A and B are shown apart, each in its own frame.
Chain A
């Protein structure tokens, strides 16, 4: 029984990572109706940046917040330089751009930092299991960090003027311009925010899966499964989906398919959702009367 409880708690911890990446995907999807396949590689790059800051002797939390700032800037720059010029291009062009971005960032990361697997430190003392072995310090700490990020993002969109403007720009760019919102900048900010959220996810998962240029590949798949499960146009749903996928994956890995086939769970969820309920569990229903 203890084993089961531990598997669930560990699932919630990884689920927080998936939820964060899923949220990053959904944010960009809502604004542009495209899936940023490079979201994972961008997070990996961010984690490597954090790693070099720590290698250079910076305290962990300085590197942590420094990386968030740098990642935000990278996200903004990528949108302005690469995505903006093709904003009105057909879907297949966009898919091509996103796959290109994935390959470029992924390989550039390998080229700069090397392909050898690196150990990434956890800020949470990881040797002592807590609550009688139920949860490790890193699991607890990283869950708290991802939850904090999710709450902050939610509060930003719900309560701030800028957050409201970003939602307006995503829902209805034309009307947003008519109230004076600079829609182009809102998109760039969205990319920055998504990159920053991804960076936190990368830094939280790296101590567990170890750091190498393909670290986020599997995670992106789980996150995508989570986003689809919750409804790709519903941020709250995507977050819930991310957590559920984390728990499901862990349980299936421990009791059903074994660790080697865990990734299959993500694919099974993706196919299952697309077949049974394409809009996801909490897919947004837009009410409108004409």
Chain B
């Protein structure tokens, strides 16, 4: 399968502190790659590095072109949507306005059709259409963040712990939506998750991060079946 995103020797950090020490990984076109690891392993920093939000070294190639040294807004305009930790929702604005901002870079005529489609996927957002996003529940905010990201019509979706802080039922619902995204839209997904079981179920490739280095990688299904790996690294 051709690579949508190919990362080689990625180093990144904040000021003098290095967080990532040379990562190699890829996301296939239409595929789902899971980045697993404990708190502080560097998962969030990896996503930030791809979006140009931290200083990086190494090669980040998206559809054969480098993203290295580009501004966040230019990277986004190339088709990478990022749902960051903290979700990146505009709390002061309404659900509708968040939707409109999601489609900010688009000029085509299908924006309204996409609004309707996503409201079909997330009926609860339709109910809260004119409400301030800050008043939504955590699950609704996560749905809004994903909807906002999809409205960009991205080729690659970066998701930072979509299950974080949510009730199990809501998590199920959100992963259901992600399965739908994978099946219906052909968008590649780079998924950062603490819930390894759910992530491995969705992903085709998986990488395990430990203090800024990849300690293991492979086909998600194989890792999931591997008793020893599960016990020693994933803890379930």
- Is B91 in contact with A179, judged by CB distance below 8 angstroms? no
Q: Mark B88-118, 1 if CB is under 8 A from A, else 0.
A: 1111110001001110110000000000000
Does B72 count as interface, using CB distance less than 8 angstroms?
yes
Does A135 count as interface, using CB distance less than 8 angstroms?
no
Greatest chain A CB density within 10 A among B53, B102, B104, B134 is at B104
| Complex contacts, B26 vs chain A, CB 8 Å | none
Does B192 count as interface, using CB distance less than 8 angstroms?
no
Interface residues of B in 121-152 (CB under 8 A from A): 132, 134-138, 148, 152
Q: Known interface pairs A179-B148, A180-B73. Does A289 touch B135 (Cβ–Cβ under 8 Å)?
A: yes
- Is A165 in contact with B138, judged by CB distance below 8 angstroms? no
Does A277 count as interface, using CB distance less than 8 angstroms?
no
Interface residues of A in 151-188 (CB under 8 A from B): 161, 164-165, 167-168, 171-172, 174-183
**Bound CA–CA A139/B148 (angstroms):** 47
| Complex contacts, B90 vs chain A, CB 8 Å | 168, 171-172, 175
A174 closest partner in B (C-beta): B88
- Is A286 in contact with B91, judged by CB distance below 8 angstroms? yes
B52 closest partner in A (C-beta): A177
**Bound CA–CA A165/B105 (angstroms):** 10
Does B230 count as interface, using CB distance less than 8 angstroms?
no
- Counting contact residues on chain B (CB < 8 A from A), the size range is 20 to 34
Interface size of A by CB at 8 A reads 23
Does B51 count as interface, using CB distance less than 8 angstroms?
yes
**Bound CA–CA A162/B102 (angstroms):** 13
**Bound CA–CA A180/B102 (angstroms):** 9
A189 to chain B, nearest CB (A): 15
Q: Count of A-B contacts with CB under 8 A?
A: 76
Does A288 count as interface, using CB distance less than 8 angstroms?
yes
Q: Which residue from B72, B93, B100 sits with its C-beta under 8 Å from A161?
A: B100
Q: Which residue from A161, A178, A287, A288 sits with its C-beta under 8 Å from B82?
A: A178
Interface residues of B in 146-200 (CB under 8 A from A): 148, 152, 165
Interface residues of B in 46-95 (CB under 8 A from A): 51, 53, 71-73, 76-77, 81-82, 84, 88-93
**Bound CA–CA A290/B140 (angstroms):** 11
| Complex contacts, A171 vs chain B, CB 8 Å | 90-93
- Is A179 in contact with B136, judged by CB distance below 8 angstroms? no
Q: Mark A208-225, 1 if CB is under 8 A from B, else 0.
A: 000000000000000000
Q: Known interface pairs A165-B101, A180-B77, A180-B152. Does A289 touch B138 (Cβ–Cβ under 8 Å)?
A: yes
- Is B97 in contact with A177, judged by CB distance below 8 angstroms? no
- Is B132 in contact with A178, judged by CB distance below 8 angstroms? no
| Complex contacts, B135 vs chain A, CB 8 Å | 287-289
- Is B93 in contact with A181, judged by CB distance below 8 angstroms? no
B83 closest partner in A (C-beta): A178
Q: Known interface pairs A177-B76, A179-B152, A180-B73. Does A288 touch B91 (Cβ–Cβ under 8 Å)?
A: yes
A90 to chain B, nearest CB (A): 17
| Complex contacts, B102 vs chain A, CB 8 Å | 179
Interface residues of A in 39-53 (CB under 8 A from B): none
**Bound CA–CA A61/B208 (angstroms):** 68
A35 to chain B, nearest CB (A): 20
A157 to chain B, nearest CB (A): 11
**Bound CA–CA A165/B90 (angstroms):** 11
A272 to chain B, nearest CB (A): 28
- Is B89 in contact with A178, judged by CB distance below 8 angstroms? no
- Is A178 in contact with B72, judged by CB distance below 8 angstroms? yes
B53 to chain A, nearest CB (A): 8
Q: Known interface pairs A178-B84, A179-B148. Does A168 touch B134 (Cβ–Cβ under 8 Å)?
A: no
**Bound CA–CA A178/B138 (angstroms):** 20
B165 closest partner in A (C-beta): A290
**Bound CA–CA A121/B107 (angstroms):** 45
